[in-house]
Amino acid sequence: MKKPLVGIIMGSDSDLPIMNQAGDVLDEFGITYEIKIASAHRSPEFTANYAKGVVAKGIKVIIAGAGGAAHLPGVIAAYVPIPVIGVPIESKSLKGMDSLLSIVQMPTGVPVATVAINNAKNAAILAAKILATGDNKILEKVIKFKQKIKKESINKNKKLK
């Protein structure tokens, strides 16, 4: 089995329907990944140990989804020297704005790239683009993906009257 290049991590299994979308996109690109549940608040030791071990596993990018206080992406970014992409998960009370603002407002030196609320698909596309900077096979797949979405967009004009 190939080593994972991307780690998909989330604070709760309730985030799984959104975060599985990242896995689906990575599957389309042929990029290996692993999925873990690690709460920054409920299992901080597990979360810290996971973060400390990702580089040794060969992981190159982390996609971290979190809702509410949404500390998980920032906690992971504090430990790792690799890119972290945060996915704010929609919350009931504040519709994900709390998650978005928590993830995007990281202090200098601990950046977390942040995508739109519930947009794990874009997180996976960004992870593919990051990996493509050092892997021509992935770069070719990203280029083909861009061509595909361009064609889909242009073809929508045919449906207009």
pTM: 0.95
Q: For residue range 46-63, what is the model confidence (pLDDT) as tens digits?
A: 999 999 999 999 999 999
Domain annotation for the chain: domains and CATH numbers: 6-159 (3.40.50.1970)
The answer to whether residues 8 and 37 touch, using CB atoms and an 8 Å cutoff, is no
SS3 of 86, please?
strand
Residue 161, pLDDT above cutoff 80: no
- Encoded amino acid at 101, one letter: L
| pLDDT value, residue 27 | 98
